[in-house]
Amino acid sequence: MSAFVDHAQIEVHSGKGGAGCVSFRREKYVPRGGPDGGDGGRGGDVVFRASTHHRTLLDYRYQTAFHAGNGRPGSGNNRHGKNGRHVMIPVPRGTLIINAETQEIIADLMEHGQSITVVTGGRGGKGNAHFKTATHQTPRFAQPGEAGQTMKLDLELKLIADVGLVGFPNAGKSTLVSTVSNARPKIADYPFTTLIPNLGVVKRASDREFVIADIPGIIEGSHDGKGLGDQFLRHIERTAVILLLVDVSDMADPDPTTAVPLLMNELKKYKDSLELRITAVVATKIDAMTSDYTHRLETLRHQAEAAGLACFEISAVTQRNTEIVMQYLERIVCKTSAEDDADSIERA
């Protein structure tokens, strides 16, 4: 399995335009043939295209420079030089293309097949045939081709998912994803087993489906980059719905009664709008909770109610109540999608 890479820096170069040609027609019985130098070809462009066949930016950790082809020079008999070869760079959906020097966002490629030309090739030079005038019948000069463009780019991938699972390390996110979707993340009984985000497709009996993302464990201070939190938090920006998962088992750490406000605070400090996408609190590992700790569930219910959130209690291992959560997500994701479609129609 290849590593998940969500950031890369590359340099792109468009092609140089070909030079125009200085040439004069030489024909039998035509003592004073006129200029017939052709134009140079245009340099190649560098184009980015979003593709569902690419999941990470790993390739661009190793290949960091891309050069489009140069245009060929023109030739006699008004022959145009061949245009330079374009370079097409495929990237995963959700890739931001950023000018590394100015930090300007050039493109945000969200849809499969969406493309953008980042640097364009130089124009080919005009041949001497263009410069013939009534007073200057034999121009002995042509234009050189224009230089290509060079740009350093930051590529940043933000996963696109309908539902994001957020919680402290070992909260049961990976186990839930593995039981309700086609994803098979690494699962173990120690913290930080998930070091890369995992995406899974949840297929429903209604033929509907939605994408669920297991975001690696958040810790207090993640919004400031503590641990690897800020790198993981960027992937939540694309999700329409966020669930807060809280471990309520006997061995839970930190104290589950403090988890919800801490997680909400981390999301809000990273980006205000994330707090608005939280729709539910999910108490996990109830199969490993004894009667001595039932007060934790009561506290979570009160916290969720106070925040206007739904509250569920599940065991992903035994799949207890997981179907109820999936039914809830199916309803809310479909509702969110319908609202987004309505907004798009209204804007149009």
277 near 305, Cβ under 8 Å?
A: no
Q: What is the pTM of this model?
A: 0.66
Q: Token pair of 195, please?
A: 């070091």
134 Cβ contact partners less than 8 Å away, ≥ 6 residues apart = none
Identify the pLDDT of residue 27: 75
45 near 121, Cβ under 8 Å?
A: yes
Same domain, 171 and 122: no
Q: What is the CATH number of the domain that holds 16?
A: 2.70.210.12
Identify the pLDDT of residue 45: 98
How big is the CA angle at 12 (ends 11 and 17), to the nearest 5 degrees? 145
Domain stops at, among 157, 173, 197: 157
* Residue 80, domain extent: 7-157
pLDDT at 247 over 90: yes
Identify the pLDDT of residue 220: 52
64 Cβ contact partners less than 8 Å away, ≥ 6 residues apart = 8, 9, 10, 11
Under the banding of pLDDT at 50, 70 and 90, the label for residue 343 is very low
Domain presence at residue 2: no
Mean pLDDT of the chain: 84
246 near 171, Cβ under 8 Å?
A: yes
169 near 32, Cβ under 8 Å?
A: no
Identify the pLDDT of residue 229: 43
State the DSSP code for 315: B
Same domain, 48 and 112: yes
**DSSP secondary structure of 282-305:** EEE-GGG--GGGTHHHHHHHHHHH
Q: What percent of the chain has pLDDT over 90?
A: 49
Q: Indicate the helix (H) or strand (E) that contains 347.
A: helix 322-347
Domain stops at, among 157, 184, 215: 157
- Torsion (CA) 224, 64, 84, 107 in degrees, nearest 10: -10
3-state SS class at 268: helix
**Beta-carbon-side half-sphere exposure of residue 57 (alpha carbons within 13 Å):** 23
Domain presence at residue 320: yes
Number of domains in the chain: 2
**pLDDT tens figures, 111-124:** 889 999 999 999 99
Same domain, 223 and 112: no
**pLDDT tens figures, 45-66:** 999 999 888 878 888 988 999 9
Under the banding of pLDDT at 50, 70 and 90, the label for residue 4 is low
Same domain, 55 and 139: yes
| Integer Cα distance of 188 and 170 in angstroms | 8
| Integer Cα distance of 268 and 148 in angstroms | 44
Q: Indicate the helix (H) or strand (E) that contains 179.
A: helix 173-180
| Integer Cα distance of 36 and 139 in angstroms | 10
Identify the pLDDT of residue 65: 97
**What is the average pLDDT across 203-225?**
70
**pLDDT tens figures, 175-193:** 898 888 876 654 444 344 4
pLDDT at 88 over 70: yes
